[in-house]
Amino acid sequence: MYDSTIMWNSFWRSRDRFSLDQLRYLTDQLTKVQVVNEVNKDFVIEALRSIAELMTYGDQHDPSYFEYFMEKQVMGEFVRILKLSKTVSVPLQLLQTVSILVQNLRNEHAIYYLFSNEHINYLITYSFDFQNEELLSYYISFLRAISGKLNKNTVSLLVKIRGDEVVSFPLYVEAIRFAFHEENMVRTAVRAVTLNVYHVGDDSVNRYISSVPHKDYFSNLISFFRKQSIDLNKLVSHTLINPGPDSTSTIIAAIDEIEDNLYYVSDIVSAGIPDVGRLITDSILTVLIFPLLLPSLRIAIDNDNDIQSGVVTSLYLLCCILRIIKIKDLANTIAAALFYPSEAFTKSFGGFHPEGVLMQNDCSNSNLSLRDVLLAYVTKGDDIQVLGSLSVLATLLKTKELDESMLDGLGILPQRKQHKKLLLQALVGESSGEEELFSSKSSLTRDSTGSDIDVYHDKIKDRYGISCQSSVVGNSPHVNRFQVIDALVNLFCRSNISAVTLWEGGWLLRRLLPYSESEFNSHHLELLKVSYNNCAAALVEEVKGIWTDFLISVLCDEWRKCKRAMESSSPPKEPNCVLLLPHPHYKFSLEDDTPKGSSFAVGERMQELVKVFVLLHQLQLFTLGRALPEQPPIDPTGDLPTNRRAQTSGLDASGPKAGTEISLVNAVPCRIAFKSGKEHHFCFRAISLGISGWLVLAEELPSQKSHGIVRVTAPLAGCDPRIDDKHSTWLHLRIRSSSLPFLDPAKSNDYGRIKTKSLVDGRWTLAFRDEQSCNSALAMIVEEINILSDEVHRRLKPLLNLETAIDLSSTDLCVTEDSSNRILPKSL
C-alpha cells in the first residue's frame, strides 16, 4: 500500500497551487491509491476538491489543463476511486467535484468530453447509500448540474438509442425516483431536472418520456397533488372546528406548496410536448376533478364542517387549476362538466368525504346542475361559500382558454365580447347576427352555444364514461345570463355577507354588463334601491356614533378603493382568500349587536358598513349608466357654522395641541388622577371644529387666569359621558384611540382584522367641585357632540340623497380633513 504519510508530506510541498504541475501531481497521486479507507480518505478528499478548483481555473486561463485531464482520463480515475471507497465522505466529495466541473466548465468541448463517455451515466446509476441525507442532497445537486447543460447536442450523449428511439435515459429515470421525496428541497431539485429535460425539445426524448412506463410519472404527479389536496382539506376542516393562533400560517404554507405544484405542472405543459398535455389533462380530470372536486360541491342542510370544508377547498382548487394550468381542452371540459347535475359525479365518486350523504334543502336537489349549485351558494350560502363561488365564476370569465360559447352558456360572457362576436356574425351574413346585435337582450344563439358545449359533453361521455342529460344547456344563453345577474342582485340584498365578498360580486357584475340598466328588470332595480336605502339609513346612524369624526375620511378612502377594484381587470381578491378569511363563525351583519365597551369593534363595523354603502352607491350610478367620479359627492368644508366655544377657544383649524395656549372661557375646573395617589387640577373644555372635536384638559396660567396651557387632549366623539350613579360630582368619560386601528398596519393582522385583544379603551373620571359644575360639563360635551354630528351629517347629505348624488356625480366635492394631529391622552 502507498504510504499515506509520504503522500501528505508531498501534498504540502511548496508548489504553485493553481499550476499545471499541481494538477499533474494530484492526478499521479490518485493513480497510486489502491484502497480508500480511514487512513488516506482525507488526502483523497482534498485531492478531489483541489482538482475541481484547478480545472475551473484552467477552463478560464489555460486550455492545457483540460487537455491533460482528457489525456490522463481523470474521469475514469474518479470512477475507480469511487469503487475503492469504503467511507461515505469520499463519495460526497466526488459528487461535489463532478458537480463543480459540470457547472463551471464553459468550454463546449469540455462538456462534450465529460458527457461523451459512460462515466457520467455510471455515476448517475451508481448504488449510493441514500439513507444518508447529505449524500442524497449532493447526488440530487449532481443531477441538477448535469441537467443544466442539456441541449439538443448534449442530451444525445446521455441516452442510449436503438434505431431512432431512445431506450435508456438514466438522468431522467433516476431523477424521478425522488420526485415525491418527503424533503421539499429534493422535490424542487428533481422538478428542475425534469423541466430542463422537457425544454430540450428533442423529439426522440419526448417520445421516451411519454411512453410506457415513464408516462406514469405524470399521473403519479397528479395523484401526489390529490393527496396534498386531501391534506389541505383536512387542515381546513380542523381549522373550522379548532382555530388556533397558527392556523393561518399553516394554511398559507399548504397553499404555497399546492400552487408551487400547479405552476410546475404549468411549466411542463409550456414545454409543448404533444402527448404530455393530453396525459396531464386526463390525469387531472380522472384523478382530481371528477372524483374529488366536483362531487364535493354540495349544499348541506346544517353546518356540517366536513361538507363545508370540502366545498371551500374544492372551490379554491378549481380556481387554481383554471388560473394556472393553461390547457384549452382541460378548461373547457371543466366548464362543460358544470352543466351536469351533481348526481352525475356523486353517484360514482364521493368527493373529499365519500362517506357523507348529499344533504338537501329548499334550494338543493340531485337534479341541480353544478352551475346551479354555484348560484345557490351566491344567493343562500354563507360568506365563504359566496366568495368561493364568485371566485370560480370570475376565474372562468378570466380564463382565456375557454371558448366564448362556453362562457355564454354559463351566463358569464361579458357583453363587449358578445357584441364583438355578433358583429362578426353580422359581417359574414349570418341572419341572426344583425338582429341580435342591436337587441338589448343580445346573446349568442342557443344552437351555436349548445352545439359547442355538446361537443365537450360527448368527450366526457366517450373518454371518461360520465354521461347525464343537462337541462341547463337547453336554456338560451340569455336565460342563463339572467340567472347570474339575478343571483348577484339578490346577493347585494343580503345583510349577512362581508364587504370583501360583496365587492367581488360587484366586480363580476361590472364585467358582465354594459354601463346601463338595460339587463336589469324593474324588480332588480327595486331590490338594489331598497338595499341601498337600508344601508344609507344605517350610515346615518353612524353619524351619531363613536367614530363620526372619521366617517367622511373613511368614506372617501373606501370610495377610491372600491372604484379601483370595480374598474380593475382582475377580481379584488385572490382565490386563496376563501381559505384565509374567518369562517364560518365570523359573519358581518348590519343588525349585529356591538360588544359594549369596545370602540375598536365599532370602528371595524363602521368600516364594513362604509364599504358596503360605497359599493351599493356605485352600483346605483352604474345601473343608470353614469361614470364613477373620483370622489363621492360630499359637501366641502366651506364656511363653518358659528360655534361659540370654538370661536372663544382661540384655536385654529388644526385643533388643540399639548403645550399650546387656549382660552379658558366657559372652562370648568376639575380634578383627575392619572395615577393612584397623584391628583391634578385642570380646567376642562369640550370643543368641536368642523368634523373634529376634542376633550381638553388645560392648566391655568398664573399670570392670566382666563388662559391656560393645554396638557392633555382626547377625541370628543365616542366619549360616552356619564355621571356616576353614587357620586353626582363625578363624570365618567370613555377615551378611545385618536386614530382608527384598522388603518394602522401595526394594529392589524395580515388580513385587515383588528387585533382587538391588544387594544383597550381608556377611561377618565373627572371630579368637579359641585353637582352644578358636573352637569355643566356634561351639557357642554353633549352640545359639542351634537354640533360635530350635525356638521358631518350636513356634508353627507348630497351623498345620502341618491337623486342629488347622481346629479353631482360628475363633480369631485369630497374634502377630507387631516386627523393626524390628534393627540392621544397622556399621563402627566
> What does DSSP say about strands 160-162 and 165-168: parallel, antiparallel, or unpaired?
antiparallel
Rounded to the nearest 10 degrees, the angle between the axes of helix 370-380 and helix 383-398 is: 130
Report residue 708 as a C-alpha cell.
391656560
pLDDT surpasses 90 at 276:
yes
* pLDDT at 812 (0 to 100): 47
pLDDT in tens, 705-736: 889 999 999 999 999 999 999 999 999 999 99
* Dihedral, CA of residue 288, residue 395, residue 392 and residue 524, to nearest 10: -160
Give Cβ neighbours of residue 452 (< 8 Å, ≥ 6 apart): 403, 405, 406, 409
Report residue 531 as a C-alpha cell.
338595499
HSE value, Cβ hemisphere, 13 Å, CA-based, for 278: 6
HSE value, Cβ hemisphere, 13 Å, CA-based, for 381: 29
Q: Which residue in the block uniquely carries the three cell numbers 399621563?
A: 827
pLDDT in tens, 590-615: 444 445 557 888 999 999 999 999 99
pLDDT surpasses 70 at 319:
yes
HSE value, Cβ hemisphere, 13 Å, CA-based, for 513: 25
pLDDT surpasses 90 at 653:
no
Q: What is the mean pLDDT of residues 386-395?
A: 97
- Please state, in angstroms and rounded to a whole number, the distance separating the CA atoms of residues 50 and 44: 10
Q: What is the mean pLDDT of residues 226-241?
A: 92
Share of the chain above pLDDT 70, in %: 81
Report the mean per-residue pLDDT for the chain.
85
Report residue 277 as a C-alpha cell.
398535455
pTM of the model as a whole: 0.86
Cα 111 versus chain centre, distance: 43
- Please state, in angstroms and rounded to a whole number, the distance separating the CA atoms of residues 802 and 529: 9
Q: In terms of pLDDT, which residue wins out, 688 or 824?
A: 688
Classify residue 828 as exposed, middle or buried by CB count within 10 Å of its CB (0-12, 13-18, 19+): middle
Q: In terms of pLDDT, which residue wins out, 352 or 669?
A: 669
Q: What is the mean pLDDT of residues 23-44?
A: 92
**pLDDT grade, residue 825 (50/70/90)?**
very low
- Please state, in angstroms and rounded to a whole number, the distance separating the CA atoms of residues 492 and 616: 8
CB count in 10 Å sphere of residue 455: 13
Could you tell me if 352 and 309 are in contact, meaning their C-beta atoms sit under 8 angstroms apart? yes
φ/ψ of residue 488, rounded to 5: -70, -40
Report residue 450 as a C-alpha cell.
349548445
Residue 678, SS3 per DSSP:
strand
**pLDDT grade, residue 517 (50/70/90)?**
low
Q: What is the mean pLDDT of residues 489-513?
A: 94
pLDDT surpasses 90 at 414:
no
φ/ψ of residue 757, rounded to 5: -65, -25
DSSP assigned state of 159: S
> What does DSSP say about strands 165-168 and 722-723: parallel, antiparallel, or unpaired?
unpaired
**pLDDT grade, residue 419 (50/70/90)?**
low
- Please state, in angstroms and rounded to a whole number, the distance separating the CA atoms of residues 758 and 745: 13
- Please state, in angstroms and rounded to a whole number, the distance separating the CA atoms of residues 633 and 618: 11
- Please state, in angstroms and rounded to a whole number, the distance separating the CA atoms of residues 449 and 545: 53
Strand partners, 709: 661, 699
Strand partners, 730: 767
- Please state, in angstroms and rounded to a whole number, the distance separating the CA atoms of residues 123 and 128: 9
pLDDT in tens, 533-585: 999 999 999 999 999 999 999 999 999 999 999 999 999 999 999 998 765 44
φ/ψ of residue 611, rounded to 5: -60, -40
Task: Give the lowest-confidence range in 64-68, 82-86, 125-129, 639-643.
Answer: 639-643
CB count in 10 Å sphere of residue 27: 19
Report residue 556 as a C-alpha cell.
372617501
pLDDT surpasses 60 at 382:
yes
Burial 588-604 (b: 16+ CB within 10 A, else e): bebeeeeeeebbbbbbb
Report residue 713 as a C-alpha cell.
387632549
pLDDT in tens, 446-497: 555 667 888 999 999 999 988 876 655 667 778 888 999 999 999 999 999 9
pLDDT in tens, 761-794: 899 999 999 999 999 999 999 999 999 999 999 9
* pLDDT at 132 (0 to 100): 94
Strand ranges in 736-786 using DSSP code E only, listed in sequence order: 762-767
Cα 137 versus chain centre, distance: 32
**pLDDT grade, residue 745 (50/70/90)?**
low
* pLDDT at 432 (0 to 100): 52
- Please state, in angstroms and rounded to a whole number, the distance separating the CA atoms of residues 507 and 364: 27
Give Cβ neighbours of residue 587 (< 8 Å, ≥ 6 apart): 382, 383, 496, 498
φ/ψ of residue 440, rounded to 5: -70, -15
> What does DSSP say about strands 704-715 and 692-701: parallel, antiparallel, or unpaired?
antiparallel
